[in-house]
Structure 1
Amino acid sequence: MNETALNLRDIHLPEAISWWPLAPGWWILLATTIIIALFTYIAIKIYRNRQLLRDITAELDQIKLQFENSNDRSQLAKSLSVLLRRANITYNPKTNVAGLTGENWLAWLDRTSNKTAANSRFQSDTGKVLLSAPYLPDDATLDFNAEELIQLCETWLLTSHRKQAGMTP
């Protein structure tokens, strides 16, 4: 055969397929990956928030059980004061709540409580026990309504964390 007689040209390959724009399947895969990542992030955040509440509830139950067994009001007030402080620092990490002391600390607890502002229960005589209890000797005797203090602290611990964080002390 004579090549010149057939007058053939070389084979030209098509241009390489570009990676952009992506095919619809890749867009679906990308959207699915983003949705799964977002769902996982939200689920982990919810789990951690509930874990904190579970930990606080367990410690509060332990404090109440210790009080039922020993009937030691001084130890009860100390334990509740420490638990309130730790929970507050955890719930409000961006505020300067760790530095609050005295009446300012009780006012902060009342402000962040789900009760009305007129009901300053932490600033009452029962709540003021929380100020002095951690600094008293172990054998000190305190006279206060233990059930009222437990209820006051329990109400704050189990409901106030749901309030919006970021309040300034």
Structure 2
Amino acid sequence: MPTDLPLADIHFPQAPSFWPLPASFWLVIIVSFMTIATVLFFAIRWQRSSTEKHAAKREALRILGKIKSEQSLTALNTLLRQTALSYFPRQEVASLQGKAWLHWLQRQGNNAQFADIESLWIATLYGTHQLSDREWQQCFDAAKQWLNSLDVNAIKGGHHV
């Protein structure tokens, strides 16, 4: 029969500590934070750029609502010119007048109908013709359509407000 032997208790070693972290863990933590910070930086920068790009268009659409009640073709033409100067190179837009201006608007707008109202627009803007309500609505709709179809993300070479 076995007898009790005078043995000492078994002592297990301490479990390894998580602190201090090994150098490789610190490297992973630092690289992770730098990656997150970089992604956040570029996401915020892209969002601000996108917001600034659309600012002139949003403002033009807001002003367009005010112009509708005035029924002023001069104000409508000025608004289109200011918006165009916000997105396209100045040397391309600033010198355009009359038919050349309307043809340029027609080319830039996807569905704008400036070709249909060209003579009416020029006679009113540069002459003495007074617009009827129906004619005003045609001019207003063409301008609104041009502003709405303006793809500010696809425009290159202009300066954004």
**TM-score above 0.5:** yes
Aligned to 1:51: 55
Measure the CA separation in 2 of the matches of 1:157 and 1:128.
21
Aligned to 1:87: 83
Aligned to 1:147: 137
Measure the CA separation in 2 of the matches of 1:114 and 1:79.
22
Rg comparison, structure with higher value? 2
Structure 1: give runs of 5+ residues left out of the alignment: 1-21, 68-75
> What is the CA distance between 1:93 and its match in structure 2?
3.2
> What is the CA distance between 1:42 and its match in structure 2?
1.1
Aligned to 1:66: 70
Question: Which stretches of structure 1, 4 residues or longer, exceed 3 Å deviation after superposition?
Answer: 127-136
Aligned to 1:106: 102
> What is the CA distance between 1:89 and its match in structure 2?
1.0
Write the letter of the residue equivalent to 2:130: L
User: What secondary structure, in the 3-state scheme, does the structure 1 residue paired with 2:94 have?
Assistant: helix
1:161 aligns with 2:151: yes
> Deviations for 1:112-140, whole angstroms, at most 9, x for unmatched residues?
1112xxxx83233x23444465556xxx5
Q: Is the 8 A contact 2:88 2:156 kept in 1?
A: yes
> What is the CA distance between 1:55 and its match in structure 2?
0.8
Aligned CA RMSD, in angstroms, stands at 2.8
> What is the CA distance between 1:65 and its match in structure 2?
2.1
Number of positions where the alignment pairs a residue of Structure 1 with one of Structure 2: 131
Q: Is the 8 A contact 2:73 2:124 kept in 1?
A: yes
State percent identity of aligned pairs: 18
Q: Please give the TM-score of this superposition, normalised by the length of structure 2.
A: 0.68
Aligned to 2:34: 30
Aligned to 2:113: 121
Q: For structure 1, which segment, 45-54 or 78-87, has the greater mean C-alpha deviation from structure 2 after superposition?
A: 45-54
Q: 1:46–1:39: structure 2 CA closer, same or farther, 3 Å change rule?
A: same
